[in-house]
Structure 1
Amino acid sequence: MKKVLFGTTMLVAAGAFAGAAVAADPITLKLGGKQEQYFGGFASTKDGGREDGFGIDTDTEVYFSGSTTLDNGITVGARIELEAEADNNVNADKQWTTVSGAFGKIEAGQRSGVFDEFMVVAPTVGAVSQGDIQGLWLGKGNDDPDVYTNLGQSLDDDDAKVTYVTPQFYGFSAGVSYTPNVGSSLVAPTKKNRDLVQAALGYDAEFGDVGLKASGALATQSNLWVYQGGVNLSYAGFTAGGAYTYIDDNSASAAAGAMGNGQGSVWSAGLAYAVGPYSVGFTYGQSAIDDGVDAAIYKVGGAYKMGPGIDLVGNVFYGENGIGASGDNASREGVGAVTGIVLSF
């Protein structure tokens, strides 16, 4: 059913813009991917009932991608992303088809929507995001409620969807994504967790030596509303910026599971500097929702580019999770450090 739905969607879209079309060459998939290996540790001033110590985190994926351009100028492409870790239960976590041309771009498959794809957030250096620090390295206290807001500020939605993105016009572009069934790629048996809609507007331009990137986005489903805005300004190797996200979720839906349910906000700000193969940056993020569960991360990161696709990274941070929650084991806070090597191929 999924293949029929998406296949029909792409055929209708292509037919509407294409007319008769012949590919000059068939699609040939190329191999790519990434491999990230991190080692770090955390020492708490409030342990939240959890042990401190050292750990290792890995993130390895293999990509297959390819495209071809038809005689009428329309480009058709495919991408498949495979997880390559032994403890990952999902192998192909993302896969989608793209049809693009003068009309813009249409995508169908399992990948993030325009809320995440357009999103501009605070600059960060060191490959390890504030969301990774909060969820993986700091962690939350044993008595901390499951409801807390993700400092990563992403919707983290890779469910099957259809997306349309306009061509860029004077630096502006817009997009919309529709997910029929949140949490699954199949048609839902009930009316719950249906019909997630995302819309976004982006701006990317340069004025002499000054670069400006900005975004605004929303996601809605039933009683869920998420709003996001961000801006980055760059000049002479410096990049400064920030982002703000507001969540109003009374639906207890799967769509906001990574963001946190209830009402609340997340904001982040950062400053980064890059010269030659070196870069360094400071990022701060803070969240708070209506039940008092909140979090904050202060992070300094650095990176050194050893060669094409080979980066050495390091991070030191101070973090707090669940500092407003009640209970002896609710709060967890302290300092940590993470270093690693990041490969892209």
Structure 2
Amino acid sequence: MKKVLLASSALVAGAAFSAPAMAADGEIVWSAFTQFHVSSTGVDGDSAGVGGDTNKGVDFNTNSEVALTYTATADNGLTYGLHLQLEADQNTSNNSDENHIFLEGDFGRVELGDQDSAADRLMVSGSSVGFQFGMLGNYTGSVLYNTGYTGSGAGARTAADLNDSSDNTKITYFTPTFNGFKAGVSFAPDSDNGNTASGSSAGTDNHIDGGINYSGSFNDFSIDAGLVASTEEQSATGSDDNTYYGVGGGLKVGYAGFSAAVGYIHEDLEDTAEVDTVDAGIAYATGPWSASLGAAWSQRDNDGGTDIDFTAYSAGVGYEIAPGLNTWVAGTVGEYEGFAEDFTNVQAGVSVSF
């Protein structure tokens, strides 16, 4: 359940020194969640630099956010507003997760600010099924230590997820949906976000990603499919830029409480490495219960270096105790060559949201 408030023109005007007249009252929607996790991870690679027992046996942690969305419609039919997503955990280094303005009409939707990119939101993969923490690629208790994907000692992928611009400040455009099809594209000039101004030659420049997605249903079947691509310039101080290219796609089908999905990406980092990743998942939900199985495989072929393989399998069960109150338990086993080596992870949690 979400709390919905109507914001009068007086309220909006009181929140700023000046505000344009609105055709109608806007709508403010608040939402929030807090999750508590307990997890235990064991790995063979015991070096703090390339793996190690990342949880030191047992770990407790939380994940909490508060979100506000404001929406209004102008006399000419233009829908506009803003979305703020604030981190609420203690000692978080990033006080805002997402923050953007949106404009929407017959032309489609434009988003300005810090928000997930088009490719990330149009992609379909094995991680698209399952409940909160039953799938690979979402390790609450830091199952794997990874020194980075593009730098020295970088590893393979843990899910079919190509380089997007995350929440870096960007412009994104989505087309209207035509017969189930929607396309989108994002551009981020650098890897900065918020009010940070670019002042370094190191990092990511000129990131462009996009894709096309289809979503539809036929009788009792549902189908979701996506094709995405991404490119950017990656640089480090004192070295030449590398051009990154990535392409991927996936398919998800659903029927009678069951859903299954598979995703694949191929990535090429100029003069450095090529990476191929596949993930898959199957899930079932009935009443308050949900369950999922997942698997992922990734291979990084380093130019003139040692290849790295990642393989993992996960399973989990979730239960909705009451509206907005959920609990789950999940486990993951796998092998990450050159990093954690053989690893196991067990985690459980409870969440409250509205």
- Interval containing the TM-score (normalised by the shorter chain): 0.7 to 0.9
- Which residue, out of 132, 138, 142, partners 1:136? 142
Residues 232-247 of structure 1: matches in 2 within 5 Å?
A: 232-247=252-267
Find the aligned partners of 1:159 and 1:36 in 2 and give their Cα distance: 25
Residue of structure 1 equivalent to 2:301: 290
Inter-partner Cα distance in structure 1 for 2:165 and 2:61: 19
Cα offset, 1:268, TM superposition? 0.3
Q: CA RMSD in A?
A: 2.4
1:25 CA displacement: 2.9
Q: Residue type matched to 2:189 in 1?
A: P
The TM-score normalised by the length of structure 2 is 0.80
Unaligned runs of 5+ in 1: 1-20, 252-260
Which residue identity is paired with 1:188? S
1:18 paired residue number? none
- Offset at 1:159? 0.6
2:121 alignment partner in structure 1: 117
Structure 1 residues 150 and 207 mapped into 2: Cα distance closer, same or farther (>3 Å)? same
Match of 2:86 among 82, 87, 90: 82
Whether the 8 Å contact between 1:125 and 1:303 is mirrored in structure 2 is no
The structure in which a higher percent of residues are helix is: 1
Distance (Å, rounded) in 2 between the aligned partners of 1:240 and 1:234: 6
Task: Choose the corresponding residue for 1:316, options 319, 331, 339.
Answer: 331
- C-alpha separation between the residues in 2 aligned to 1:124 and 1:164? 26
Unmatched runs of 5 consecutive residues or more in structure 2: 1-19, 234-242
Q: Deviations over 1:140-170 (max 9, x none)?
A: 69xx964113324443611110011001001
Distance of 1:285 and 1:119 partners within structure 2 = 16
Shift of 1:30: 3.0
Equivalent residues of 2:167, 2:193 under 8 A apart: no
SS of the residue corresponding to residue 178 of structure 2 reads coil
- Provide the C-alpha distance between the structure 2 equivalents of 1:140 and 1:196, rounded to a whole number of angstroms: 22
- Identical columns (%): 25
Quote the Cα distance in structure 2 between the aligned partners of 1:343 and 1:296.
32
Task: State whether structure 2 residue 106 is matched by structure 1 residue 108.
Answer: no
Residue by residue over 1:19-55, the C-alpha shift from the partner in whole angstroms, topping out at 9 and shown as x without a partner, is xx963335453321221111011234x2433235111
CA distance in 2, matches of 1:156, 1:298: 27
Spell out the pairing of 1:1-345 with structure 2 (5 A cutoff): 23-44=22-43, 46-49=44-47, 50-51=52-53, 52-122=56-126, 123-128=128-133, 129-133=135-139, 136-139=142-145, 146-154=153-161, 155=164, 157-184=166-193, 186=196, 188-189=198-199, 193-222=204-233, 223-250=243-270, 262-291=273-302, 292-321=307-336, 323=337, 325=338, 330-345=339-354
1:247 shift after superposition? 1.2
Residues 30/184 of structure 1: CA separation in 2 closer, same or farther (3 Å cut): closer
Q: Compute the displacement of 1:295 (Å).
A: 1.4
SS in 2 for 1:132: coil
